[in-house]
Structure 1
Amino acid sequence: MTQTPIPYLFLRGGTSRGPYFRREDLPQDRDALSRILIAVVGAGHPLNIDGIGGGNAVTTKVAMLSRSQSDDADVDYFFAQVSVDEPLVDYKPTCGNILVGVGPAAIEMGLVPVSGDQTRVRIRAVNTGALVEAIVETPGGRVRYDGDVAIAGVPGTAAPVGLNFLDVVGTSCGALLPTGNLRDTIDGIDVTCMDVAMPMAIARAEDFGLTGYESAAELDANRDFFARMEKIRIEAGRLMGMGDVTKSVTPKFGILARPRNGGAISARYFMPWNTHPSLAVTGSQCLAACALTPGTVADGLGDLPEGTPALMRIEHPMGDIEVTVDHETTAEGGFQLRSAGLVRTARLIARGEVMVPEAAMTGTVVPEAAPVGQDA
């Protein structure tokens, strides 16, 4: 069988991992691109046994990088969420954890030069238009991966990667509150539909008969909850102006509860058809904004810090994540977000070539059509 080699880096970014490609090494045509990414990951099998995916949505993610076409950015980051057990690719969302690896990968690829002991990389998220500044440790002219920063969900420690998220309000739906309401009632459940870094539908755990402290495995086993949640998520997507989201991973869904380990609030995050083992970087910003906005479903649940910037520690199944939110409350009681920042870690795991079968390159085997997203 003839196969085509495609150069790639394989990185862990935050609590996700996947291949990072140069955009120029992949086809521009969306159908051809989807065939290749499905083959690379091995989508369509629960173990991704014929590809480099890991059998979980946090390990079937792809980053594609290029020099930015924008004057205010160094790198364009185009993201693809490949399905685990279906031959599908979703280009609508972005991924904040994979974003953590974009700065290091861009430097490794030669897309951005090292500029000292720390290198600032301004990243444009192609899928949503968001602008993010990454601060990468580069002593001696090389990316540093070892360090003393620990993040929940990843063993050991590594070098810090600072992320400052700019212009993240309404990047997908055009408004902080896409429905125009602080709360909507869907199928008898109060939901806040919010778009900060990631469009989300957010509810209280107790309204589903949950504590909000369940493990990811316990929630994944509760298929009645998932069935009801998906019905609400699909309707929320329609109300948010996102159309039919049946086969899209956005909007994501989150449930909130009172903190019990000293954090600002407790959260569980869904990807959306299974439970995130920890918490997404983008989702954490939206959940933090929801907790800080008066009148949302989070009202009265949180132990919120005073002043701004606010350090929001959000509890999740594997520990917690800290988000620094620079915000203000308007005279009318509304919420305005100026920026959000996090410190995460990344590690280069492998570099080389991934082999793509001829059938995927030529389209002799055509998978199910991928959802339509924004063009690269």
Structure 2
Amino acid sequence: MTLLLPDRIWRDGALHADLVAEHDGKTLTAIRPRQPGDQGQQVALLMPACTDLQVNGSGGVMLNSDPTPEGLAAIVAAQRAVGTGWVMPTLITTSLDQMRQAIAATLAAWTRPGGLPGLAGLHIEGPYLNPARKGTHDAGFIRPFDPELPGLLAPLRAAGIPVMVTLAPERVDPADIRALHELGVVVSAGHTAATAEEARAGIAAGITCFTHLFNAMPQMESRAPGVIAAAINSDCHAGIIVDGHHVHWDMVALACRARPRAGRMFAVSDAMATIGGPDHFTLYGERIDVKDGKLVNAAGSLAGAHVTLLECLRNLVLKVGLPEAEAIAMCTDVPNAVIGQPSPALAPGMPLDLVLALDADWRRVPAG
């Protein structure tokens, strides 16, 4: 057996300084109290791999371009290689037919023998958005709520598959929001121009989350607080992109520290095909390139993100200045709570590639 001797271990929602991990080169075999004379690999932190609820693509694949079990598997595999062990692939605004394909692919991947380890569900972002806040989404696909959607999602929920739907509350009837919520779908507000009052009406109907806070939303003003203030003041969860391009560090800190209840903020990558893939891809027929660490279209506008959740974690600690435990939870426990799943815990039997060993600079080091 080989020992990992961390300064701290993330376990049961807290940092522990008195534990060590044993492994056989492939899996963890024990987590036990530190004993005098223990010798092994010194690391700063051990934690389970991250959970990301907004991954549009990875490994050269966009879910919109390949809504198949094979496309899902490629995205999950690429994310697992960079420290995200559980992934919610995200289909952005598209046709109803392609939504059907992604739903069928998710069901097939989840229910086949052995399932698809690392698949955390399906996130459908759009097409029920506000065109004025569409971002990189194709306005040609934005439309009123499809009445078929609850019926299409019902088989996923019946199979226990987490589902998230991002929509603009001012564009969707409260009854339709309620129908999704009652089905067990996580309804998230995003790409919206909602007023604070409209956002609160959406919350009353069943919205429990907000998608990439600050982005594709009108910004707060003293007499027009808007959807952002409604989100921050609410009890809902809110995802946020922590790459330094989408949201300034100070604004990330402000949102996290202003929430009335702890454990309601979580990080997302909004990753695209360039993670573990080439430095460009095509979306809606338009080339998107990595430039200076960010993804931009021909006009220079942001088009998703080129960041991993592990990098977001590092940013939360070193750039935003959050307490370590809060930052770790934002990339592990909180996103799992959003989708009603237990947080993966460091325990005997966990594959070593799902154990993150980090150095003092919050960078991954090989375990073993």
Pairwise same-fold verdict (TM > 0.5): no
**Greater percentage in helix:** 2
> TM-score, normalised on structure 1?
0.25
> TM-score, normalised on structure 2?
0.25
**Greater percentage in strand:** 1
